[in-house]
Structure 1
Amino acid sequence: MMKNLLGTNLITQIGILVHDVEKTAQAYADFFGVEKPEIYMTDVLEKSQAVYKGEPMPARAKQAFFDFGQLQIELMEPDHNPSTWRDELNTNGEGPHHIAFTIEGMNEKITLMEQKGMKLIQKGEYPGGRYAYLDTFDQLKVMIELLENDKE
Protein backbone atom coordinates (compact mmCIF):
# COMPACT_ATOMS: atom_id res chain seq x y z
CA MET A 1 0.00 0.00 0.00
CA MET A 2 1.27 3.50 -0.85
CA LYS A 3 2.17 5.96 1.88
CA ASN A 4 -0.29 8.85 2.33
CA LEU A 5 1.47 12.00 1.10
CA LEU A 6 -0.33 14.32 3.52
CA GLY A 7 -0.45 12.16 6.63
CA THR A 8 -4.26 12.57 6.74
CA ASN A 9 -7.33 11.64 4.73
CA LEU A 10 -9.58 14.08 6.61
CA ILE A 11 -10.93 16.83 4.35
CA THR A 12 -11.35 19.93 6.49
CA GLN A 13 -12.60 22.48 3.97
CA ILE A 14 -14.28 22.93 0.61
CA GLY A 15 -13.56 26.28 -1.05
CA ILE A 16 -16.07 27.81 -3.46
CA LEU A 17 -15.47 30.82 -5.70
CA VAL A 18 -18.31 33.33 -6.04
CA HIS A 19 -18.94 36.72 -7.65
CA ASP A 20 -20.87 38.08 -4.64
CA VAL A 21 -19.89 36.66 -1.26
CA GLU A 22 -22.58 38.62 0.64
CA LYS A 23 -25.41 37.29 -1.53
CA THR A 24 -24.05 33.73 -1.64
CA ALA A 25 -23.36 33.64 2.11
CA GLN A 26 -26.99 34.65 2.73
CA ALA A 27 -28.19 31.91 0.37
CA TYR A 28 -26.10 29.31 2.25
CA ALA A 29 -27.33 30.65 5.61
CA ASP A 30 -30.93 30.41 4.45
CA PHE A 31 -30.39 26.92 3.02
CA PHE A 32 -28.81 25.56 6.22
CA GLY A 33 -31.01 27.59 8.60
CA VAL A 34 -28.05 29.28 10.28
CA GLU A 35 -26.89 32.85 10.83
CA LYS A 36 -25.03 34.47 7.96
CA PRO A 37 -21.36 34.48 8.98
CA GLU A 38 -19.18 37.55 9.21
CA ILE A 39 -17.45 38.50 5.96
CA TYR A 40 -13.67 38.75 6.25
CA MET A 41 -11.07 40.26 3.95
CA THR A 42 -7.77 38.46 3.47
CA ASP A 43 -4.71 40.32 4.73
CA VAL A 44 -2.68 42.80 2.72
CA LEU A 45 0.56 41.56 1.14
CA GLU A 46 2.73 42.88 4.00
CA LYS A 47 0.90 40.57 6.41
CA SER A 48 -0.04 37.67 4.14
CA GLN A 49 3.38 37.34 2.46
CA ALA A 50 1.35 35.82 -0.37
CA VAL A 51 3.09 34.50 -3.47
CA TYR A 52 1.35 33.54 -6.71
CA LYS A 53 3.30 31.70 -9.41
CA GLY A 54 6.55 32.73 -7.72
CA GLU A 55 5.76 36.47 -7.47
CA PRO A 56 4.51 38.60 -4.54
CA MET A 57 0.72 38.69 -4.70
CA PRO A 58 -1.24 41.78 -3.64
CA ALA A 59 -4.58 40.11 -4.45
CA ARG A 60 -7.15 39.90 -1.69
CA ALA A 61 -10.48 38.14 -1.31
CA LYS A 62 -13.64 38.52 0.73
CA GLN A 63 -14.37 35.31 2.62
CA ALA A 64 -17.22 33.76 4.56
CA PHE A 65 -16.84 30.55 6.55
CA PHE A 66 -19.51 28.02 7.51
CA ASP A 67 -18.39 25.46 10.11
CA PHE A 68 -20.18 22.12 10.06
CA GLY A 69 -18.35 19.86 12.50
CA GLN A 70 -15.13 18.67 10.90
CA LEU A 71 -15.95 20.27 7.54
CA GLN A 72 -15.86 23.97 6.73
CA ILE A 73 -17.29 25.63 3.63
CA GLU A 74 -15.33 28.69 2.54
CA LEU A 75 -16.89 31.17 0.12
CA MET A 76 -14.38 33.42 -1.68
CA GLU A 77 -14.93 36.56 -3.74
CA PRO A 78 -11.53 37.61 -5.14
CA ASP A 79 -10.56 41.12 -6.12
CA HIS A 80 -9.35 41.68 -9.68
CA ASN A 81 -5.60 41.22 -9.04
CA PRO A 82 -3.93 38.04 -10.34
CA SER A 83 -4.38 35.05 -8.03
CA THR A 84 -5.47 31.46 -8.27
CA TRP A 85 -8.90 32.64 -7.10
CA ARG A 86 -9.26 35.27 -9.84
CA ASP A 87 -7.83 33.05 -12.58
CA GLU A 88 -10.14 30.15 -11.72
CA LEU A 89 -13.20 32.41 -11.43
CA ASN A 90 -12.41 34.02 -14.79
CA THR A 91 -11.74 30.66 -16.48
CA ASN A 92 -14.33 28.35 -14.93
CA GLY A 93 -16.87 30.67 -13.30
CA GLU A 94 -18.42 30.23 -9.90
CA GLY A 95 -18.09 26.90 -8.16
CA PRO A 96 -15.65 24.63 -6.35
CA HIS A 97 -12.06 25.88 -6.14
CA HIS A 98 -10.36 23.48 -3.72
CA ILE A 99 -10.55 20.85 -1.07
CA ALA A 100 -8.31 21.46 1.93
CA PHE A 101 -6.47 19.31 4.41
CA THR A 102 -4.97 20.46 7.71
CA ILE A 103 -1.44 19.15 7.82
CA GLU A 104 1.83 19.45 9.74
CA GLY A 105 5.15 20.11 8.03
CA MET A 106 4.10 22.45 5.22
CA ASN A 107 7.44 22.64 3.43
CA GLU A 108 7.94 18.87 3.57
CA LYS A 109 4.43 18.23 2.21
CA ILE A 110 4.90 20.74 -0.62
CA THR A 111 8.20 19.07 -1.57
CA LEU A 112 6.61 15.59 -1.55
CA MET A 113 3.71 16.77 -3.69
CA GLU A 114 5.94 18.60 -6.16
CA GLN A 115 7.96 15.38 -6.56
CA LYS A 116 4.68 13.81 -7.73
CA GLY A 117 4.15 16.57 -10.32
CA MET A 118 1.79 18.65 -8.17
CA LYS A 119 3.12 22.18 -8.54
CA LEU A 120 2.84 24.89 -5.89
CA ILE A 121 0.67 27.68 -7.33
CA GLN A 122 0.01 30.07 -4.44
CA LYS A 123 0.93 30.30 -0.79
CA GLY A 124 0.64 32.73 2.06
CA GLU A 125 0.15 33.38 5.75
CA TYR A 126 -3.06 33.93 7.71
CA PRO A 127 -3.48 34.78 11.40
CA GLY A 128 -2.40 31.59 13.17
CA GLY A 129 -0.97 29.68 10.24
CA ARG A 130 -0.23 29.33 6.55
CA TYR A 131 -1.77 27.94 3.37
CA ALA A 132 -0.61 26.56 0.04
CA TYR A 133 -2.53 25.74 -3.13
CA LEU A 134 -1.14 22.99 -5.34
CA ASP A 135 -2.10 22.28 -8.93
CA THR A 136 -3.42 18.74 -8.63
CA PHE A 137 -5.87 18.97 -11.54
CA ASP A 138 -4.06 16.45 -13.76
CA GLN A 139 -3.96 13.85 -11.00
CA LEU A 140 -7.02 14.58 -8.84
CA LYS A 141 -9.23 16.84 -11.03
CA VAL A 142 -9.42 19.45 -8.24
CA MET A 143 -6.99 21.84 -6.54
CA ILE A 144 -5.66 20.83 -3.14
CA GLU A 145 -5.09 23.38 -0.39
CA LEU A 146 -2.79 22.62 2.52
CA LEU A 147 -3.49 24.40 5.82
CA GLU A 148 -0.95 24.42 8.63
CA ASN A 149 -1.94 26.01 11.92
CA ASP A 150 0.62 27.27 14.40
CA LYS A 151 1.02 25.18 17.53
CA GLU A 152 -0.47 26.81 20.60
Structure 2
Amino acid sequence: MAKIESPVITQIGIIVRDIEQTSEAYAQFFGIEKPKWMRTDPLEQTEMRYKGQPSEARAKLAFFDMGSVQLELIEPDEHPSTWREFLDTHGEGVHHIAFQINGMKKMLNLLEEGNMPLIQKGEYTGGRYAYVDTLKDLKVILELLENDPKL
Protein backbone atom coordinates (compact mmCIF):
# COMPACT_ATOMS: atom_id res chain seq x y z
CA MET A 1 0.00 0.00 0.00
CA ALA A 2 1.22 3.52 -0.78
CA LYS A 3 2.15 5.83 2.08
CA ILE A 4 1.28 9.49 2.45
CA GLU A 5 4.26 11.71 3.25
CA SER A 6 2.33 13.89 5.69
CA PRO A 7 0.23 12.12 8.31
CA VAL A 8 -1.39 15.41 9.41
CA ILE A 9 -5.03 15.77 8.40
CA THR A 10 -5.63 19.36 7.32
CA GLN A 11 -9.26 19.17 6.23
CA ILE A 12 -12.45 17.16 6.52
CA GLY A 13 -14.89 17.60 3.63
CA ILE A 14 -18.61 17.15 4.18
CA ILE A 15 -21.18 16.93 1.37
CA VAL A 16 -24.41 18.84 2.07
CA ARG A 17 -27.66 19.56 0.24
CA ASP A 18 -28.10 23.10 1.62
CA ILE A 19 -24.92 25.00 2.43
CA GLU A 20 -26.77 27.94 4.04
CA GLN A 21 -28.69 25.74 6.47
CA THR A 22 -25.74 23.51 7.33
CA SER A 23 -23.33 26.44 7.73
CA GLU A 24 -25.77 28.07 10.12
CA ALA A 25 -26.09 24.84 12.13
CA TYR A 26 -22.29 24.51 12.46
CA ALA A 27 -21.89 28.20 13.36
CA GLN A 28 -24.53 27.95 16.08
CA PHE A 29 -23.20 24.64 17.40
CA PHE A 30 -19.63 25.94 17.74
CA GLY A 31 -20.63 29.50 18.69
CA ILE A 32 -18.66 31.03 15.82
CA GLU A 33 -19.39 33.28 12.88
CA LYS A 34 -20.97 31.66 9.85
CA PRO A 35 -18.57 31.90 6.90
CA LYS A 36 -19.70 33.20 3.53
CA TRP A 37 -19.80 30.48 0.93
CA MET A 38 -17.98 30.73 -2.38
CA ARG A 39 -18.52 29.00 -5.70
CA THR A 40 -15.74 26.97 -7.28
CA ASP A 41 -14.27 28.39 -10.46
CA PRO A 42 -15.53 27.31 -13.91
CA LEU A 43 -13.91 24.56 -15.99
CA GLU A 44 -11.84 27.10 -17.96
CA GLN A 45 -9.96 27.95 -14.74
CA THR A 46 -10.03 24.67 -12.85
CA GLU A 47 -9.39 22.34 -15.77
CA MET A 48 -11.37 19.84 -13.68
CA ARG A 49 -11.43 16.23 -14.74
CA TYR A 50 -13.80 13.68 -13.23
CA LYS A 51 -13.08 10.03 -14.01
CA GLY A 52 -10.70 11.20 -16.73
CA GLN A 53 -13.18 13.48 -18.52
CA PRO A 54 -13.54 17.28 -18.38
CA SER A 55 -16.46 18.29 -16.17
CA GLU A 56 -18.29 21.59 -15.82
CA ALA A 57 -19.27 20.66 -12.26
CA ARG A 58 -19.11 23.40 -9.69
CA ALA A 59 -19.90 23.51 -6.02
CA LYS A 60 -20.62 25.96 -3.24
CA LEU A 61 -17.95 25.78 -0.54
CA ALA A 62 -17.89 27.08 3.03
CA PHE A 63 -14.83 26.77 5.25
CA PHE A 64 -14.64 26.62 9.04
CA ASP A 65 -11.11 26.96 10.44
CA MET A 66 -11.13 24.77 13.55
CA GLY A 67 -7.58 24.98 14.86
CA SER A 68 -5.36 22.56 12.97
CA VAL A 69 -8.25 21.09 10.93
CA GLN A 70 -10.52 22.87 8.51
CA LEU A 71 -14.12 21.74 7.96
CA GLU A 72 -15.17 22.17 4.34
CA LEU A 73 -18.88 22.07 3.50
CA ILE A 74 -19.58 21.23 -0.16
CA GLU A 75 -22.92 21.67 -1.94
CA PRO A 76 -22.50 20.18 -5.43
CA ASP A 77 -24.34 21.29 -8.53
CA GLU A 78 -26.04 18.85 -10.92
CA HIS A 79 -23.01 18.14 -13.17
CA PRO A 80 -20.94 14.94 -12.86
CA SER A 81 -18.38 15.09 -10.03
CA THR A 82 -17.22 13.07 -7.06
CA TRP A 83 -19.32 15.42 -4.93
CA ARG A 84 -22.53 14.80 -6.93
CA GLU A 85 -21.89 11.06 -7.06
CA PHE A 86 -21.40 10.94 -3.29
CA LEU A 87 -24.59 12.91 -2.59
CA ASP A 88 -26.64 10.80 -5.00
CA THR A 89 -25.21 7.50 -3.69
CA HIS A 90 -24.68 8.10 0.03
CA GLY A 91 -26.57 11.28 0.87
CA GLU A 92 -25.02 13.93 3.07
CA GLY A 93 -21.94 13.14 5.12
CA VAL A 94 -18.17 12.98 5.31
CA HIS A 95 -16.77 12.81 1.79
CA HIS A 96 -13.01 13.10 2.31
CA ILE A 97 -10.06 13.80 4.54
CA ALA A 98 -7.34 15.98 3.07
CA PHE A 99 -3.58 16.16 3.41
CA GLN A 100 -1.15 18.86 2.28
CA ILE A 101 1.54 17.37 0.05
CA ASN A 102 4.42 18.24 -2.25
CA GLY A 103 4.90 16.36 -5.51
CA MET A 104 1.36 15.71 -6.73
CA LYS A 105 2.31 13.68 -9.81
CA LYS A 106 4.66 11.42 -7.85
CA MET A 107 2.08 10.83 -5.10
CA LEU A 108 -0.70 10.08 -7.62
CA ASN A 109 1.56 7.56 -9.37
CA LEU A 110 2.36 5.83 -6.06
CA LEU A 111 -1.31 5.66 -5.10
CA GLU A 112 -2.29 4.39 -8.56
CA GLU A 113 0.31 1.61 -8.23
CA GLY A 114 -1.33 0.72 -4.90
CA ASN A 115 -4.78 0.34 -6.54
CA MET A 116 -5.93 3.75 -5.34
CA PRO A 117 -7.00 5.47 -8.57
CA LEU A 118 -7.53 9.15 -9.22
CA ILE A 119 -11.22 10.12 -9.21
CA GLN A 120 -11.16 13.87 -9.77
CA LYS A 121 -8.57 16.61 -10.01
CA GLY A 122 -8.43 20.30 -10.64
CA GLU A 123 -6.66 23.58 -10.11
CA TYR A 124 -7.44 26.40 -7.70
CA THR A 125 -5.80 29.78 -7.27
CA GLY A 126 -2.43 28.94 -5.77
CA GLY A 127 -2.46 25.19 -6.22
CA ARG A 128 -4.17 21.97 -7.17
CA TYR A 129 -6.22 19.16 -5.67
CA ALA A 130 -6.85 15.50 -6.39
CA TYR A 131 -9.40 13.07 -4.97
CA VAL A 132 -8.23 9.48 -4.79
CA ASP A 133 -10.42 6.39 -4.39
CA THR A 134 -9.19 4.89 -1.13
CA LEU A 135 -12.62 3.65 -0.03
CA LYS A 136 -11.74 -0.06 -0.20
CA ASP A 137 -8.76 0.17 2.15
CA LEU A 138 -9.32 3.40 4.13
CA LYS A 139 -13.14 3.66 4.03
CA VAL A 140 -12.98 7.31 2.96
CA ILE A 141 -11.81 9.29 -0.08
CA LEU A 142 -8.46 11.06 0.27
CA GLU A 143 -7.90 14.54 -1.06
CA LEU A 144 -4.37 15.65 -1.83
CA LEU A 145 -3.75 19.40 -1.72
CA GLU A 146 -0.62 20.90 -3.23
CA ASN A 147 -0.01 24.63 -2.95
CA ASP A 148 2.36 26.46 -5.24
CA PRO A 149 5.55 27.70 -3.57
CA LYS A 150 5.27 31.21 -2.19
CA LEU A 151 7.54 33.61 -4.05
TM-score, normalised via structure 1 length: 0.97
Alignment of 1:15-26 (within 5 A): 15-26=13-24
Alignment of 1:50-65 (within 5 A): 50-65=48-63
**Moved runs in structure 1, 4+ residues, more than 2 A?**
none
Alignment of 1:122-133 (within 5 A): 122-133=120-131
Q: Give 1:107 shift.
A: 0.5
Query: Equivalent residue of 2:72, what SS?
Result: strand
Alignment of 1:1-150 (within 5 A): 5-150=3-148
Q: Give 1:5 shift.
A: 2.0
d(CA) in 2 for partners of 1:129 and 1:66? 20
d(CA) in 1 for partners of 2:34 and 2:98? 22
* CA-based RMSD: 1.0
Query: Equivalent residue of 2:108, what SS?
Result: helix
The count of aligned residue pairs is 150
What are the Cα deviations for residues 117-147 of structure 1, in whole angstroms up to 9, with x where unaligned?
Answer: 0000000001111000000001101000000
d(CA) in 2 for partners of 1:49 and 1:100? 20
- Identical positions, percent: 59
d(CA) in 1 for partners of 2:88 and 2:33? 29
Q: Give 1:70 shift.
A: 1.3
Query: Equivalent residue of 2:4, what SS?
Result: coil
What stretches of structure 2 of length at least 5 have no aligned partner? none
Q: Give 1:35 shift.
A: 0.5
Letter in 2 for 1:106: M
Q: Give 1:38 shift.
A: 1.2
What stretches of structure 1 of length at least 5 have no aligned partner? none
Q: Give 1:85 shift.
A: 0.2
d(CA) in 2 for partners of 1:54 and 1:114? 14
